[in-house]
Structure 1
Amino acid sequence: MKLGDRLKFARLMKGMTQEETAEGIISVSYLSKIENNQAIPGEEVLELLFHRLGIHRGENGTTPSWHESVMAWYKAMTDKDVPTAKERYETVKKQCGESGDAEATVYFQLMRIRYLLLLRDVKGAEAAARSVQEWYEALDDTMRYYYWKFFGLFYYCQEKYDDALQCYQKAEGLIGAERRPNWEEADLAYLLALAYSRTWKVFPCIRYAERALALSQAEYDLRRSAECHILLAICYRRCGEMEKAIDCCLLAQKAARLADDRLLIGIVEHNLGHLKGLKHQYREAVQHYENSLMYKAEAPLADRFITLLALVREHYAAQNYRKALAAAEEGWQQLRQSDGGVTGHYEYYLHFSVYRLLLSGEGEAFERLLKHEAIPYFQKRKEYEDAARYAEYLADYYARERQYKQAAHYYRLGCGLLRKRTDA
């Protein structure tokens, strides 16, 4: 922040008018020129203004001493280095608090949103975000950049992908306000690519993923490079470019192994399993999914559930119903034993419940679950592929029960949902 911007920001944060700030020190017109960086006050005037606004002296308008600590903390969060981020938290909090600088307070509160999201504390991040919203008009462009970036991440964690994309785009519009390091530009490009992927906008996703990849490779960031290759593999799969998708996965696998990141290797194995399954290479697909579960042994439950579900579906598609039921039961048991239980992982409660009933006799409970819970739930979340799959299962059930009108209705619904996914 320039000196004038810093003075204006501190004044706005204290809720003071220019008249109140300038009284007994300088004229309002001169203060206005200082705040607009059109004049530089003398040392005595600057000392008085700093005292009135509660700004600690000693930096002479240059980058404050706390700023370096805040940015090092932020870099640890961007790198998903949870231990380092936790270690730095109290130090940065204390340093920003003791600075007496309104700018430090806002930076800390902004970065705290990112910190709580790193810890997967979405409720805490929401409270932190609300506290920052009221300061928006007082923020400069750099602060607004972080504001929109972190709000985008917050919405993404809430699975509000359209809102996340809009926030990231606003951040992108502010990224040119000052020169930023490659890793920062790579991070925003990757987040944009993720949001485009979630909203099924394949070609923008490829463009941003390739940009993030180029910037990450220039920084020798193996983890982010692997993540970009995974995202590109997903895009090429959606375009039907299966061999290119597999090549991207293999590049991601190499980078993840060099980074010695077990979770990333597990994610790559999962994607390879999906690609092999689409090519009807059942044994290879199952092997990749089992490898993925092995690498994800210490990962959060949601990361394991997604692979267990894929394994259920792979066995089911290959008509190996015994193994499919065993995998569904394993997922169900893990779900029941988890801290969050059914409430914390409701979507997987639905998935595993559907397959447990499908593979053990169907009946009215199966019909009720699909008709009144699973299909409406995934439709509402715009998870059109899952909703279409379950609509087809229900249509097949009605066809076996010779309820052909109902069967036709759900076959049509499934086709319509798949069109929505394609048009999304």
Structure 2
Amino acid sequence: MGGPDVMRDIASLTVARVGSVRSRPDPVLPWIVVDGAGEPVGPVSGFLRNVLACGSSTASCRSYAFDMLRWFRFLAAIEVEWDRAQRSDMRDFVLWLRTSHNPARDRRRRGAPAPGSVNPRTGKPYLREGYAPATINHAISVIAEFYDFHLRNGDGPVVSPVPPRRYRGGRVYAHHNPLEPFGLRRRGPLRQKQPELAPRAVPDEVLADLFAHLDCHRDRALFSMFLTSGARAAELLGMSVSDAHPGDGRIFVRGKGLGGAKQACPASPEAFAWLALYLGDLSQQGHRPEPCEPLWWTRRNPLRPLTYTALRAVLRRINERLATNITIHDLRHTLCLRLVNDPNVSLVDAQQVMRHRHITTTSGYVRPRVDEVIAKLQEHYNRPAAPPVQADGWHYDQSDLDSVFGGR
């Protein structure tokens, strides 16, 4: 059993990939964590049920399940029961995440650019090999919530293995005055430093090449919707036929974290024109979806609703042709930067379009991008220098002398 004075050799620790996260057709608990024998992990299932009961989405349930699976795999490797974990075990878990290989990076194709390198066309770095600091911090928060849940129920350890944050009084900035600046706060124990990422926008020339490589009306309508509505991938793919309103210039998507409520988003006339052509292609294939059916479908028979995996495959093929690393979410960033830089669109208008909860999220796009600053500095360096001033004595204007001493 792990204790506060146990010093493990993290470098030689082998964490077996036993167990998995499985989906099931249960609206109450659609995602569960199973052990190596295929049996549900009871403490995790109870925690995930509570997460959903508190109003979280199924996507959050799935994300929490993967964090718990990673934690239980680590506990099995160090032979510690979940209710006997100590602070030192949590410390070693973070050290293991900082130094271990992320299996999600194994999907990288052969001949791909080096991890962490910067794409010359988009200016965006590729993902690194290991776990990102944001992933580690998310795992720490989920595990802390897991132990707090069992501590409140009286069926867990008396003390959580996750060190508490240094501040008290609930969620940080919960009662912050929006008219005052945010103060600096120290990071909690074991929390990683997260770099302050600048908003990433796709350059105009890369966007032109992207649309030139779209070979069907469906993809042109999809990417036009992404670029002009600011909708997220899951939101746009979850649309039904009745959610598109060309006459009003808007679409309705199921918003993030709103309990299933739909929100209106603007869309450009060009996007609706491509949408009409795409629906015409569906009709020629003999498929006319009903108003309550999904809007986006695959192109090959048998026709099926378009999934996020299939959409990523389309974008991955285009990235390989263009030697870029564009993501769907980059189009959302691009729209927000365009709105913020438009003098006819206020910051509040941009917040409404992007559906940001706080205006501070939208104001983060006001910062100049690195490529814009570099371009301005290049102009500064290439600007010819002003001729030096010749200081060869005092000179007075004759009209000034006439005003002071009288005219001639």
Question: TM-score range, shorter-chain basis?
Answer: under 0.3
Report the TM-score, using the length of structure 2 for normalisation.
0.26
Normalized per residue, the structure richer in helix is 1
Normalized per residue, the structure richer in strand is 2
Report the TM-score, using the length of structure 1 for normalisation.
0.26
Taking CA–CA contacts closer than 8 Å with sequence separation of 6 or more, which of the two structures ends up with the larger relative contact order? 2
